[in-house]
Amino acid sequence: MAAHHSGHGSRALWQAVDTVHQNLPETTSDVLAPTAQEILSARNGVYRSQISNALDPANATIKMQALALVARLACIHMGQRPSFPQLLAAMAMTEGYLIQLAPGEGKTLAVAMAAVLIAWTVKPLHIVTANDYLAARDAELMSPLFSACGVGVASITSDTPPQELAACYRHCIVYATAKQFLADYLRDDLLLSGARDPLRRRLWHLQNGRGDKQPVMRGLYAVIIDEADGILIDEATTPLIIASPEDDKADMLTAIRAARSLVDEMRLEQDYVLYAKAGNAVHFTENGKHKIELLSQTLSSYWQVPTRREEIFTLAIMAREVFQLDRHYIIQEGAVVIVDEGTGRSMPGRSWSHGIHQSIEARVGVELTPLTKISARMTFQEFFRHYHRLSGASGTLHGLDMELWKTFGLRILRVPPRTPSQLKVLRKQTFLTREDKLNGFVRHIEQLHQRGAPVLVGTRRILDSEEIASILRSKHIVCTVLNAKEFEFEAQVIAQAGALGCVTVATNMAGRGTDIKISADVAAAGGLHVLMFEAHESPRIDWQLFGRAGRQGAQGSAQAFVSLEEELIVKFTPSWFKPVSSLLPNLRTAFKIRLLQWLSQKHAASISRKQRSHLAFVQKQLREQLGFSKN
């Protein structure tokens, strides 16, 4: 077994970890429990090694001995004998690598072992998970190991009371989502008035030490990102905004309410055009501008200015045409709640800015919330560059080596699986229309269900998950739905998803970090079958869904269904394809649809990559402009 890596990976690291693995007893019952003195000695050794000469060869030996001891504790307290891939991943993460581990190889334990070694340096460590559910689950699951190693752990979710945040951050290891860490950082930054260097922070504490409000975080030292590509790549350019109420905006709220009914007089293509490839930008025709001028006469004089009245009508059009109920948002307890398209989860307490949220509220007829102004904002790409030590793991880091190195200085270590994958990725099923695809999709589920095979259906939208579930139930097929509206029993749904005859219809909630167990009977019947209803902009996200099946060498299959009416194809087909395809009239329709999807994903990925590269360039320029040099 060999480890494949980019950058300057050390073969000595692989050999040393292999020695640790070989010295572990084959069964956990044969492992001798370390004494309290051994644990203390290992902990002190790691602490001393991180403050001594980093190039001292003795430090590598100390860390390997510490890893061996943590592995023994994992055997005893977790009942798991760490595998070679897990040990190699854990050690490499402490060295600042991003680790690519195959689905089912046990990232959770690997991350926990790396966390112990970093926590023994007595510096704060943050572990980023894909969602609140995984943050709470992993912290609780690994707590016996952390307790045995003498390090405290806490998890922070959206349900954590604000007054408890500081106490959670005082623990050695904190599990939370990237949004949670960034939001807490920005709130602390606002409280400290931007005092980020140690001297200014000390001055602030001297002046405000007895104040009621205090920062909750202990600083940004080390972070391990689970499903790292999701945060560092897919959500890299997403800004998180801290907003505060904006005074004297009653006039705008009145205009938003009025525009909600007035906009129903406007017609797509006749009065305005939506440019999907330009972020759903709204462009008014001359006819539309004239109609807005007439309609806006009922508004106050402030909104008679052409740019302002077009702004308010743009918001109303976006609320009607762009933001979709049960896709971008849901209604919970009389409020508009945003749905994270990446995770499929609801985000209570979050809102869109610049009046978009209020326009949507007016559209659906709920009470309008106060308008807000931006107090602080930061992208995830910028935030994670603030950490001194950055590492992580994922099963899908394909083709990201150069970008991650240039942006974050991160190297990728690809760890081979213990058992070759037996996942069968079947040929895409192609259709001309969405209706044809839906009918074919349901027929295929029926065929699998008749064989007793468990099926996991992956959708991008809540609407699609509910529509598919409704059709299945009308055909007397019992199925379970997992989405932002049906999340209360997530752990139970995931636990049963691999049972014989079980059909689970889920949004991206089931795409990351979920481990669906299957029995021997299910494995003999072909394992779990994953069906994808609609492709994502990045093929890596498709693979995250496919990775729910065929884990740890088990049987399983994955199949995608594609139609020409896919949003991906409509929005991202390159402009040059249509004239070129007309020159190739003999292309089979099925081949053309598969080619279109592939090209659309490549085009979408290229656009996203350019956005991330531009953001990194702008941030670098800004840092250089704000810095100074000595002559």
pLDDT in tens, 576-587: 877 776 666 666
Average pLDDT over residues 191-196: 75
Span 127-145, average pLDDT: 93
Each residue of 493-505: b (16+ CB within 10 Å) or e? bbeebbbebbbbb
Work out the average pLDDT over 503-529: 81
Is pLDDT above 60 for 480? yes
Q: Which of 17-21, 156-160, 202-206 has the lowest mean pLDDT?
A: 202-206
Cα 39–Cα 42–Cα 45 angle in degrees, nearest 5 = 150
- pLDDT attached to residue 4: 45
Q: Choose the weakest-confidence range: 55-64, 130-139, 403-412.
A: 55-64
pLDDT at 609: 86
Q: Write down the pTM of the prediction.
A: 0.84
Q: Which pLDDT score is estimated for 620?
A: 75
> What is the arithmetic mean of pLDDT over 294-304?
81
CB atoms within 10 A of CB 524: 10
Task: Give residue-wise pLDDT tens across range 424-437.
Answer: 999 999 999 999 99
Q: Which of 64-78, 114-128, 195-209, 331-345 shows the lowest mean pLDDT across its residues? A: 195-209
**Window from 105-119, 175-189, 236-250, 368-382 with minimum mean pLDDT:** 236-250
Q: How does strand 555-563 pair with strand 422-425? A: parallel
How much is the pLDDT for 6?
A: 40
Helix, strand, coil share (%) of the chain residues, nearest 5:
50, 15, 35
Which two three-digit tokens encode residue 571?
């929005």
Contacts 24+ apart (CB under 8 A), 579-588: none
Do residues 517 and 551 touch, judged by C-beta distance below 8 A? Answer: no
Per CATH, which fold does 422-565 belong to?
Answer: Rossmann fold (3.40.50)
Fold topology of 4-200+215-241+380-414: Rossmann fold (3.40.50)
CA distances from residue 150 to 39, 172, 431, 630 in whole angstroms, order as listed: 8, 10, 57, 45
Rounded mean pLDDT, 316-345 = 87
d(CA 480, CA 502): 8
Helix (H, G, I), strand (E, B) or coil at 244: strand
CATH 3.40.50.300 residue window(s) in the chain = 4-200+215-241+380-414, 422-565
- Tokens 């073969």 correspond to 11
Sign of CA dihedral 200, 203, 207, 211: positive
Instruction: Of 532, 528, 535, 534, give the one whose Cα is nearest residue 557.
Output: 528
CA-CA distances (angstroms) from residue 549 to 28, 109, 195, 480, 527?
27, 20, 48, 18, 7
pLDDT for 582? 65
User: Whose CA is closest to 609, among 233, 228, 278, 98?
Assistant: 233
List, for residues 154-193, the tens digit of each pLDDT value: 999 988 999 999 999 999 999 999 999 999 999 998 888 7
Report the range of poorest mean pLDDT among 45-49, 134-138, 275-279.
275-279
Q: What pLDDT is stored for residue 498 in this prediction?
A: 86
Supply 568's token pair: 């991906």
Q: Residue 417's pLDDT is what?
A: 87
Residue 446 reports pLDDT greater than 50: yes
The answer on pLDDT for 135 being more than 90 is yes
According to CATH, the topology of domain 247-370 is: Pre-protein croslinking domain of SecA (3.90.1440)
**Residue the block writes with tokens 């004998």:** 81
The rounded distance, in Å, linking the Cα atoms of 117 and 46 is 7
Question: What mean pLDDT do residues 32-37 have?
Answer: 91
Q: Which residue has the tokens 């600083």?
A: 219
Give pLDDT, residue 343.
Answer: 72
With bands split at pLDDT 50, 70 and 90, how would you rate the model's confidence at 628? Answer: very low
Q: pLDDT > 90: what percent of the chain?
A: 44
Q: Give start-end residues of each CATH 3.90.1440.10 domain in the chain.
A: 247-370
Q: Are 415 and 445 in contact (CB under 8 A)?
A: no
What letter represents residue 427's amino acid?
R
* 261-271 confidence digits (pLDDT tens): 888 888 988 98
Kindly report the number of other CB atoms within 10 A of residue 463's CB atom: 15
According to the model, what pLDDT value does residue 348 have?
83
Q: Count helices and strands (H / E) in the chain.
A: 24, 22
175 vs 223: CA distance, rounded Å: 10
| Residue 103 · residue 514 · CB < 8 Å | no
Residue 601 to residue 324: CA distance in whole angstroms: 23
Query: Each residue of 540-596: pLDDT tens digit?
Result: 889 888 988 888 778 899 999 999 999 899 888 888 877 776 666 666 788 888 989
Give me the helices (H) in 78-164, please. Answer: 84-94, 107-119, 132-148
CB of 384 within 8 A of CB of 390?
Answer: yes
Please tell me the predicted confidence (pLDDT) of residue 55. Answer: 56
Distance of CA 40 to the CA centre of its chain: 36
**Neighbouring-strand partners of residue 374:** 243
Bridge pairing between strands 4-5 and 422-425: unpaired
Those residues whose C-beta lies under 8 Å from the C-beta of residue 531, and which sit 6 or more positions away, are: 441, 444, 445, 455, 456, 457, 458, 558, 559, 560, 561
